[in-house]
Copies of this chain bind each other. A is one copy, B any other.
Amino acid sequence: MLEFVFYNPTKIVFGKDQTYRIGEFIKEKKCLFLYGGGSIFKNGIYEKVVNSLKVAGKEWIEKGGVKPNPVLSFVYEAIEVARKEKVECILAVGGGSVIDTAKTVAAGYFYEGDVWDFFIKKAEIQEALPVYVVLTLAATGTEMNRYAVITNEKTRQKFNIDSDKVYPKVSILDPVNTYTVPKEQVAYGCVDAMLHLLEGYFTQSYPNTPIQDGFVETLVKVLIETTQRIFENPQDYDARANFMWATTLALNGLTTAGIGSFGFPNHIIAHSLSAFYDLPHGATLAIIFPAWLRYKFPEKSYRISKLGMAIFNDGEPEKVIEKLENFYSSIGVPTRLSQVKVPEEDLPALAENAYGFAKIRDLADYTPEVIIEILKLAK
């Protein structure tokens, strides 16, 4: 195991009927209450949250309309509202897009320059408003980590921040809140969390990590099994609960602590696909990952085999990749660029875009040529 610093101060409040407790955990008086497309009005979550805030004597300003693949222009607007209304904290009620927006607003609130500076590493976050979360979609893990991903529509860059200052203070994880999440979203969430686990597993610089390997293999197996169970019965509490906790643990720092340096090559290429065509993050990952595994074969054959034994009880690398694709297909997720109608003539521009991000993330060996080769394996 290599040296690491592990620090994660987010308090997780997990379980049925915990949503109504959000008010008791918020220490500040006035919140900016962010949400997405308005599903929280249909499934009763809005009411639960508002009742809890009222009981706790809080004040809040609401701002809805955060979109999937959240954008920088919305962040600018929200920062303006937060400043004008002098809020003291941000309450995110939603999935990854809402939470990432909240974290970015929290960091931008105190910064005089352009908040995008944090994403292009031109400035470092010094201070942020406290962020509280009621999670309604299990997928990204942002409810318990130091990252936020935002798309700059103008520059077509999907970049991220990374700072101790943006850990949510408290995140309520109530599996019941995800009962109405449609199967498509569950499937994308499954792929996203799986890749959070497997990017590290397959790119770690130090191989001898039995603890981290065991944790990753456990979580990937649980993601596959619970996704299948949720598809059969969307109100299976245990399946929703295990799925939710697995997605959170998939990117909270635990499985990557000690594995040495590692990269997110699949995410980088997938982010470019999302930025170009506004495709769901989970779909683009499912398209890129099998192609990436084939590109990296046979270099990664030992780990593909190890993972396969743990999750499919099959150690033959090529079969493991096939079984993974079959699983994606069985939950309705595309595994080929042709399925999402990406034209071949776009590949060079896509590769250039991804390379720009790769360089920032210390993955400069992912040259446009390499990326095109991977994209071609995903045709």
Residue contact A11 to B1, C-beta cutoff 8 Å = no
Contacts A6-B14, A7-B12, A257-B14; A1 near B242 (Cβ below 8 A): yes
Contacts A214-B214, A218-B218; A241 near B12 (Cβ below 8 A): no
Query: Could you say which of A10, A16, A214 has the most chain B C-beta atoms within 10 Å of its C-beta?
Result: A214
Q: Which residues of B contact A8 (CB under 8 A)?
A: 8-9
Contact with B along A58-75 (1 / 0, CB 8 A): 000000000000000000
Residue contact A222 to B215, C-beta cutoff 8 Å = no
Q: Which residues of B contact A222 (CB under 8 A)?
A: 210-211, 214
Q: How far is the CB of A51 from chain B (nearest CB, A)?
A: 19
Residue contact B211 to A245, C-beta cutoff 8 Å = yes
**A246 at interface, CB cutoff 8 A:** yes
Contact with B along A202-246 (1 / 0, CB 8 A): 000000111100110111011001000000000000100110011
Interface residues of A in 132-165 (CB under 8 A from B): none
Residue contact B208 to A1, C-beta cutoff 8 Å = no
Residue contact A7 to B11, C-beta cutoff 8 Å = yes
Residue contact A211 to B14, C-beta cutoff 8 Å = no
Specify the chain B residue showing the minimal Cβ separation from A237: B1
**Mostly helix, strand, loop or mixed at chain A's interface?**
mixed
Interface residues of A in 239-286 (CB under 8 A from B): 241-242, 245-246, 249, 254, 257-258
Residue contact B211 to A219, C-beta cutoff 8 Å = yes
Contact with B along A1-21 (1 / 0, CB 8 A): 111111111111111111000
Contacts A210-B222, A238-B1, A238-B208; A6 near B15 (Cβ below 8 A): no
Q: How far is the CB of A181 from chain B (nearest CB, A)?
A: 17
Residue contact B5 to A11, C-beta cutoff 8 Å = yes
Residue contact B210 to A214, C-beta cutoff 8 Å = no
Q: Which residues of B contact A15 (CB under 8 A)?
A: 1-4
Specify the chain B residue showing the minimal Cβ separation from A15: B3
In the complex, A208 Cα to B238 Cα: how many Å? 8
Contact with B along A272-315 (1 / 0, CB 8 A): 00000000000000000000000000000000000000000000
Q: Which residues of B contact A211 (CB under 8 A)?
A: 218-219, 222, 242, 245-246, 249
Q: Which residues of B contact A16 (CB under 8 A)?
A: 3
Q: How far is the CB of A210 from chain B (nearest CB, A)?
A: 5
Specify the chain B residue showing the minimal Cβ separation from A206: B238
Q: Which residues of B contact A238 (CB under 8 A)?
A: 1, 208
Specify the chain B residue showing the minimal Cβ separation from A218: B214
Specify the chain B residue showing the minimal Cβ separation from A219: B211
Residue contact B12 to A9, C-beta cutoff 8 Å = no
Q: How far is the CB of A130 from chain B (nearest CB, A)?
A: 14
In the complex, A16 Cα to B217 Cα: how many Å? 27
Q: Which residues of B contact A221 (CB under 8 A)?
A: 210, 214
Q: Which of B175, B217, B257 contacts A214 (CB 8 A)?
A: B217
Binding site for B on A (CB under 8 A): 1-18, 175, 208-211, 214-215, 217-219, 221-222, 225, 238, 241-242, 245-246, 249, 254, 257-258
A-B contact pairs, 22 of them (CB 8 A): A1-B14, A1-B15, A1-B242, A2-B15, A3-B14, A3-B15, A3-B17, A3-B18, A5-B12, A7-B11, A7-B12, A8-B9, A14-B257, A208-B238, A210-B221, A210-B225, A211-B242, A214-B218, A214-B219, A214-B221, A245-B258, A254-B254
| Top-6 shortest CB links A-B | A3-B15, A214-B218, A9-B9, A7-B11, A1-B241, A6-B12
